[in-house]
Amino acid sequence: MKKKIIIAFFIILIVLIGIIISKFNEFKNEPYQKTPFFDLFVAKSFYKKDLERPWEEFWDNSWNNVSKENERPIEWISNPKDFEKLDSIYLGFKNTTKEKFYYVTWGEPNSRIRISFNVFKNGKIDSIPFGGFGCGTGIYIAPLKNGEIAGGKFLNPLLFNPFTNHYLPLKNRKFPELFKEIYGDSVAIKFEQATYSLPWNKFPSQMIESKEIIISTEKIIENWKKGDYKLSPEFDKENEQAFYIKYKEDYELSSIYEKEGKTK
């Protein structure tokens, strides 16, 4: 009798293992699957879909805000001095949580980093919030183990008009004037990244954010006058969209464009 029970137990166990392996293989072979990891398979298996929101992914809580005590400990890596030059910068974040988590990406580190600004002008502070990516197609979550760094080089965000996302006209002789109209006397930059936690992690899924990096616009203009900026055809061209500035609660075309037209 005891022998039959043991045999039955192992048969059931083998069947269950077979079912799990089969389901895991289905998960790995899903269309556009880029993270075929067993821990994500387990997390997805226990996720209950909202019938009213069937399009949601099991990791859609990655954009959540959390209380102070639940904030994920992260070491952001950058050199504030790099932001004083209108060229490429390095930005990364190191996992110091002692547990693996995932971050939302388009395939490269920093590809889904949110950027927001606080502009200091004439003793006042004005915020320029993150304006959106415009598209969420193709995003997925990539793993980051304890001690690992996700990072890379990308263009200094100050190379762009934050209201239209167009390249700033670096060759225009009135560039300093336009730059100060947009970014004031100094500007603070903050980065945010959506991250996903496995159900058994200590820290919940959340949007992590860096400390503000404050840069003097005078220092940037000083380096610009020395020719210390990105030499690329995109920044030689002038486009009306690059000359939009914030006016009260709206945006308008800067008088610099109206006066200068396309004169350099």
pLDDT of residue 162: 93
pLDDT of residue 118: 96
SS3 10: helix
pLDDT of residue 259: 54
pLDDT of residue 260: 46
Structure-token pair, residue 209: 């954010």
pLDDT in tens, the chain (264 residues): 677 777 777 778 788 888 888 888 888 888 888 889 999 999 999 888 877 777 788 999 999 999 999 999 999 999 999 999 999 999 999 999 999 999 999 999 899 999 999 999 988 999 998 888 877 788 999 999 999 999 999 999 999 999 999 999 998 889 999 999 999 999 999 999 999 999 999 999 999 999 999 999 999 999 999 988 877 777 777 788 889 888 777 888 888 886 544 444
Rounded to the nearest 10 degrees, how much is the dihedral formed by the CA atoms of 162, 166, 169, 175? -10
**Whole-angstrom Cα distance, residue 118 to residue 184?**
10
State the pTM of this model.
Answer: 0.87
Residue 156 has φ and ψ, to the nearest 5°, of -50, 125
Q: Which of 157, 173, 187, 160 is nearest to 243 (CA)?
A: 160
pLDDT of residue 258: 61
The residue ranges of DSSP E strands in the chain, in sequence order, are 74-77, 88-95, 101-105, 114-121, 124-128, 140-144, 149-155, 186-196, 206-209, 213-216, 244-247, 250-253
pLDDT of residue 81: 94
Sequential DSSP letters for 200-246: T-SSPSEEEEPPPEEEEHHHHHHHHHTT-B---GGGTS--GGGGEEE
With beta carbons less than 8 A apart as the criterion, state whether 138 and 105 touch: no
**Which single residue is written with the structure tokens 């860096």?**
210
